[in-house]
């Protein structure tokens, strides 16, 4: 998944990360990487959902909290971000 993202092949990355999520649904990094892809492709609502999944599994991930705030801001829902 990450190689597809880093090589600019977003659709390949999405497909690989989707498979990774199926194989390792409890892995927070998979959900986080999916969220990054969603933000990069202008899909912030899907990013928030993926980040919520990641944060349920790893609540102390500061990068995920930060990216969630950015995605909420893109949606005009910054008031939902914890202070």
pLDDT band at residue 11 under the 50/70/90 scheme: low
Q: Are 14 and 30 in contact (CB under 8 A)?
A: no
Q: What local confidence, expressed as pLDDT, does residue 1 receive?
A: 41
User: Among 53, 46, 48, which Cα is nearest to 70's?
Assistant: 48
> Is pLDDT at 19 greater than 90 in this prediction?
no
Query: What pTM was estimated for this model as a whole?
Result: 0.78
Question: What torsion do the CA atoms of 26, 32, 37, 40 make, to the nearest 10 degrees?
Answer: 160
Q: Which two tokens stand for residue 7?
A: 């090589």
Q: What is the pLDDT of residue 8?
A: 59
pLDDT in tens, 28-73: 999 999 999 999 889 999 999 999 999 999 999 999 999 999 999 9
The three-state secondary structure class of 56 is helix
Q: How big is the CA angle at 48 (ends 8 and 2), to the nearest 5 degrees?
A: 25
């Amino acid at each position: 998944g990450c190689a597809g993202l880093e090589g600019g092949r977003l659709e390949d990355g999405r497909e690989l990360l989707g498979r990774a999520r199926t194989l390792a649904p409890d892995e927070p990094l998979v959900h986080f990487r999916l969220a990054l892809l969603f933000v990069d492709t202008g899909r912030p609502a899907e990013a928030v959902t993926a980040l919520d999944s990641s944060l349920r599994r790893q609540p102390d991930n500061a990068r995920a909290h930060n990216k969630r705030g950015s995605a909420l801001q893109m949606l005009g829902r910054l008031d939902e971000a914890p202070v």
